[in-house]
């Protein structure tokens, strides 16, 4: 009986030791998983930060390739000028083919090539002090000049620009690709501030600017 009891006690002790060991193993495993998760998150955060840095570079490029503060006005653009406290000087004005904007009291202003902020300063300079004392002027771009799409699309031509457009959006507006089109590679002709044109390679995701000319290329059979 003592032998049976001793064996039972030994089995109970062994089972207790096994349970304790299992508990320690589970705890260690959990800690290891938490550590691995933390390391993985830290490692994944590095590429994200790098991606954001690259994204920032892309955004800088995008900022130069999408209307924003640095956007320069041109023929076909339409702006809203607000002169606070002066409703007769507040209204919508178009930039004509010569880059001029006709404005009350002042007459013609060479708005083409200016940013909205530069046009604000020009208007303030013209209005003050001859007409108004310390005028407060705001300029907002209402309508951008159109872009153009040619080549292997169903309906080539000029289309109204909407902020944030890409080459693929432009193709959709033009009715889609023809059966001959290369659907992943495009040419983009863009005019810079000095008036010179440059030809760029573009992808479907490339942001476009007002006045851009998109050429959808023919694929090789």
Cα distance between residue 142 and residue 115, in whole Å: 13
Q: Is residue 126 located within the same domain as residue 165?
A: no
Question: At which of 15, 32, 63 does a domain end?
Answer: 63
Cα gap 59→38, rounded to integer Å: 30
What residues have CB less than 8 Å from 112, skipping those under 6 apart? 72, 73, 74, 75, 95, 98, 99, 100
pLDDT band at 90 (very low <50, low <70, confident <90, very high): very high
Q: What is the mean pLDDT of the segment spanning 42-47?
A: 34
**pLDDT at residue 170 is higher than 70:** yes
Domain closes at, from 9, 36, 63: 63
User: Domain count of the chain?
Assistant: 3
**213: β partners:** 148, 189
Coil, strand, or helix at residue 25? helix
Give me the CATH number covering residue 200. Answer: 3.10.560.10
The Cα–Cα gap between 84 and 22 comes to 76
**125: containing domain:** 78-143
Residue 192 pLDDT greater than 90, yes or no: no
Q: What is the mean pLDDT of residues 191-209?
A: 87
- Identify whether residues 120 and 85 lie together within a single domain: yes
Q: In angstroms, rounded to a whole number, what is the distance separating the alpha carbons of residues 95 and 109? A: 9
45 and 83 in one domain?
A: no
Mean pLDDT, residues 25-45: 41
- CATH at residue 105: 3.30.1950.10
Structure confidence at residue 217 (pLDDT): 93
- Residues 152 and 206 reside in one and the same domain: yes
**Worst-scoring range by mean pLDDT, 4-8, 48-52, 170-174?**
48-52
73 in a structural domain: no
Q: Which two tokens stand for residue 38?
A: 């933390």
pLDDT surpassing 70 at residue 145? yes
Domain limit, last residue, from 9, 28, 63: 63
Mean pLDDT over residues 70-87, rounded? 92
User: Over 50: is that where the pLDDT of 38 sits?
Assistant: no
């Amino acid at each position: 009986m003592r032998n049976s009891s001793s064996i039972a006690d030994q089995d109970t002790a062994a089972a207790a030791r096994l349970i304790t060991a299992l508990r320690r193993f589970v705890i260690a495993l959990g800690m290891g998983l938490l550590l691995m998760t933390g390391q993985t998150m830290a490692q994944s955060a590095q590429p994200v930060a790098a991606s954001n840095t690259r994204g920032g570079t892309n955004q800088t490029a995008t900022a130069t390739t999408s209307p924003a503060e640095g956007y320069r006005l041109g023929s076909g653009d339409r702006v809203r000028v607000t002169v606070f406290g002066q409703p007769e000087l507040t209204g919508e004005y178009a930039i004509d083919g010569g880059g001029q904007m006709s404005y009350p009291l002042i007459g013609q202003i060479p708005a083409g090539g200016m940013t909205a902020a530069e046009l604000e300063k020009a208007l303030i300079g013209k209005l003050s002090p001859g007409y108004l004392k310390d005028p407060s002027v705001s300029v907002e771009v209402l309508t951008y000049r159109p872009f153009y799409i040619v080549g292997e699309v169903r309906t080539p031509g000029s289309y109204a620009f909407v902020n944030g457009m890409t080459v693929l959006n432009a193709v959709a507006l033009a009715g889609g690709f023809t059966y001959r089109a290369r659907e992943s590679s495009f040419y983009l002709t863009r005019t810079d501030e000095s008036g010179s044109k440059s030809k760029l390679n573009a992808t479907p995701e490339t942001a476009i600017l007002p006045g851009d000319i998109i050429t959808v290329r023919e694929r090789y059979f």
